[in-house]
Amino acid sequence: MIDLAQLRREPEVVVAALGRRGVAAATVEEIVALDVEHRRLLAETERLRAQVKDLSRRVGDARRAGDDESAARLTDESRRVGDRERASAAATDLLGTDLRDRLLLLPNLPSPEAPDGADESGNVEVRRWWVGLDEGTAEPTFAEHQRVPHWEVGADLGILDLETGVKLAGSMFPLFRGPGARLLRALGSFALDRHLEDFEEIRPPTFALTETMRSTGHLPKSADDMYAIERDGLWAIPTAEVPLTSMMRGEIIDEARLPMRLTAQTACFRREAGAAGRDTRGVLRVHEFDKVELFAYCTPDQAPAMHLEVLARAEGIIRALGLTYRVLDLCAGDLGTSSKRTWDLEVYSPGVDRWLEVSSVSWFGDFQARRANVRFRRGDGSVALVHTVNGSALAWPRIWAALVETGRQSDGSVVLPEILAPYLGGATRISRSAP
């Protein structure tokens, strides 16, 4: 959540920053007024509590002095003040809960470097990359045989079985078969191996407690887009960012351990409630998918470099796979709830003639760390909140689609990048199976 101390100190700065994200000034001003009233009630409750304590002391003094009349009078007064103290405490708690709930719904303050804009139309393209760019090769064109959508290619080769997926779990739960399933496995192993020298591999649970989901900012804002297991008080994670952010929840990290780099591949689950009817063909928008995540706890000074490092690693994987891609700098109005600044990576998929988002690389400042209470201890002994950075490297269904479409040959087979050969048993061509 945002820094309440900053909101008290610089309300106009916070109003202006959140205004870039479309948050009405009145919303922030209501929270400021609520905070003022909450602090007034806290002070009143403490004053009444001190008065009760003083009256109790005076009752004891009167009884020891044998002054029963004064003791009885003071006892009655103590009960009356005690009733007021309990009522004030209850009102304080109620107001405090309301204040916290409203703060939890506020998004992060965008970085001044994030472009202005109300929605995705305000995102800024930073650069494009394609094979041969460094040698001056023109942006690639694609042959007619590459303009076939991946769901048709997958059905023809027997590597994507959407109908059986629907039979098993309903729509938007794809089933990959044979070489198609192996390609997914290969992509995950390939990506993890590229990160392991510098990132500790984690295999976290794929279910999380409500507090774990709240720490990243997914709750309460995005509850409708996630799968809840109400019987057990658990949520299916939408990304490995969720458990990785909370690994150090409530702890203080020694500064010498930072940046702490973590990576994980997990299944990810999203109801996509806000995207009904969009991209329902193929694997462009699914309820379950595998993704490799990069995550880091770092100091505020380390955060900019770490943000660039995660971006470079995600770009490096796309380049190694030979896919055309572009980098977008998301405008303030299109940032995720917790993000201060985000770069999106989109690959071009010729069969659907679309740019497909395959990674969001985000710097969260101390927004998540404040929710999760993750701090670090400096060399001088002082303690401060860490910053968190994360990015996908990468989400696989759309990469799978782009590889299948880009690699399609005129005979209907698919040629995959040579760099994946060690993970595919040396075979980099998928052909039709014999009848």
177/307 same-domain check? yes
Inside any domain, residue 387: yes
Inside any domain, residue 154: yes
Q: Is the peptide bond before 385 cis (omega within 30 degrees of 0)?
A: no
Inside any domain, residue 111: no
pLDDT in tens, 417-427: 999 999 999 99
Domain residue limits at 131: 120-430
β pairing state of 228-229 and 207-209: unpaired
| Total number of domains constituting the chain | 2
β pairing state of 200-201 and 260-269: parallel
Of 50, 71, 105, which one is at a domain's C-terminal end? 105
pLDDT in tens, 15-48: 999 999 999 999 999 999 999 999 999 999 999 9
pLDDT of residue 36: 97
Inside any domain, residue 205: yes
Write the DSSP assignment of 226-265 as a string of letters: S-EEGGGTEEE-SSTHHHHHHTTTT-EEEGGG-SEEEEEE
CB 427 within 8 A of CB 407: no
Provide, rounded to the nearest whole percent, the portion of the chain with pLDDT above 70: 98
Q: Is 189 left (phi over 0), alpha (psi -120 to 50) or beta?
A: alpha
Average pLDDT over residues 38-64: 96
- Rounded to whole angstroms, the Cα distance separating 13 from 7 reads 8
Q: What pLDDT band is residue 280 in, cutting at 50, 70 and 90? A: confident
CB 377 within 8 A of CB 284: no
**What is the DSSP code (8-state) at residue 411?**
T
CB 236 within 8 A of CB 269: yes
303/384 same-domain check? yes
- Rounded to whole angstroms, the Cα distance separating 349 from 334 reads 23
**DSSP 3-state of 133:** helix
pTM above 0.85, yes or no: yes
Q: CA angle, corner 4, sides to 106 and 386, nearest 5? A: 90
pLDDT in tens, 186-209: 999 999 999 999 999 999 999 999
Q: Give the alpha-carbon dihedral of 200, 323, 238, 391, to 10 degrees.
A: 50
pLDDT of residue 273: 67
β pairing state of 288-298 and 207-209: unpaired
- Which structure tokens are listed for 257? 């351990």
Q: Would the pLDDT of 274 be above 90? A: no
CB 346 within 8 A of CB 155: no
Inside any domain, residue 396: yes
pLDDT in tens, 96-136: 999 999 999 999 999 999 999 999 999 999 999 999 999 99
Of 72, 105, 138, which one is at a domain's C-terminal end? 105
CB 253 within 8 A of CB 297: yes
Looking up tokens 């094979």 gives: 131
pLDDT in tens, 249-273: 999 999 999 999 999 999 999 998 6
Task: Write down the mean pLDDT value for the chain.
Answer: 96
Residues in the chain: 435
Nearest to 188 by CA among 201, 172, 198, 175: 201
346/200 same-domain check? yes
Among the residue ranges 30-39, 166-175, 269-278, 332-341, the one predicted with the least confidence is 269-278
Q: Would the pLDDT of 153 be above 50? A: yes
Q: Would the pLDDT of 275 be above 90? A: no
Q: Is the peptide bond before 220 cis (omega within 30 degrees of 0)?
A: yes
pLDDT of residue 281: 87
141/207 same-domain check? yes
Nearest to 254 by CA among 383, 425, 411, 424: 383
Q: Would the pLDDT of 185 be above 50? A: yes
Q: CATH number for the domain including 292?
A: 3.30.930.10
Inside any domain, residue 114: no
β pairing state of 341-349 and 325-329: antiparallel
Inside any domain, residue 257: yes
pLDDT of residue 435: 45
pLDDT in tens, 208-220: 999 999 999 999 9
Cβ neighbours of 277 (radius 10 Å): 6
